[in-house]
Structure 1
Amino acid sequence: MSDPTPPMDPWVRSVLRCPVTGAELVDAVGPEGAPELRSTDPERPLAYPVRDGIPVLLETEARAL
């Protein structure tokens, strides 16, 4: 079964930043196989879930890496 969620536009993806550290976010897959965005900050690496194609960039939703 294919993913019905359209991919995020590259220009939108390029401007997203970690709301906690301001670091760039990169695409990743979480432990359960769900998509997520990971902060590239080496001091405080965080992962944010992507639900229904929408990044949830809330500190309370972040997972420490």
Structure 2
Amino acid sequence: SMCLAMNPDKLKGREVCASSSNRNFKGRQGSPTGRTLLMSPAMVAAAAINGHVADVREMMEPVGV
């Protein structure tokens, strides 16, 4: 888990990650120059599936169709 950068899976350099954690501060996920985008769990899942930040609403079926 990249939650506290306590494991080998840390941000390196200027990498960007999507996280559903409830807080963020410089260096929390590893690199002090990396970026963490705080998102809902559904948005994090959409980003993981797509390989980039994506809008989960575009992946959902319309209601009532």
User: Under a length normalisation based on structure 1, what TM-score does the superposition of the two structures give?
Assistant: 0.24
Q: Which has the higher strand share?
A: 1
User: Under a length normalisation based on structure 2, what TM-score does the superposition of the two structures give?
Assistant: 0.24
Q: Which has the higher helix share?
A: 2
